[in-house]
Amino acid sequence: MVAVMLMSVALVAVLCVVAYKLAVYALPFMLGLTAAQFAYQTGSGVIGAGLVGLVAAGVAFGILALLFETLLTPILRLIVALIFAAPAAVAGYALVYGVTKEAVPSEIWRQIFYLVGGGFVGVSALMRLAAPLPSSPALAR
């Protein structure tokens, strides 16, 4: 039982690192998935729903890239980063839930693990997204 718990903790740590790397894509993925589900339920078929989802995800990611490229005010960049980091925190919570729901017998400790995992992914995504702009060599001249 202890070995399973230790493997579960190691797997959660690895998955949190993966979630940290993919945190930028959490909101576009969720928006694309929601748009695809809506399109499928309204009768577009599988191919049409897939195309709608891809376009919605691409537009969401494009808006993120555009906002981070054009916004220079740190507070506005922080607000945009918060908007994009919230789904990453939810994804981190669900990730830890999926890994530890059978490995940890106590409901209280499972909730603690879920919240810590979600918080870790959310805060790390926020820090990654709200990082200060790198100094450009062209601007230094």
How many independent structural domains does the chain possess? 1
- Residues 57 and 65: their CA atoms lie apart, in Å, by 12
What tens digit of pLDDT does each residue of 75-107 get?
888 888 888 888 888 888 888 888 778 777 888
Lookup result for tokens 């919570």: 93
- Residues 89 and 140: their CA atoms lie apart, in Å, by 36
In a domain? residue 138: no
Average of per-residue pLDDT across 57-85: 85
Q: How many CA atoms are closer than 13 Å to the CA of 116, on its beta-carbon side?
A: 10
Residue span of the structural domain in which 62 resides: 2-132
Top pLDDT among 101 and 31 is at 31
Cβ count near 22 (within 10 Å): 14
In a domain? residue 139: no
pTM of the shown model: 0.66
In a domain? residue 45: yes
What tens digit of pLDDT does each residue of 11-21 get?
777 776 776 66
In a domain? residue 31: yes
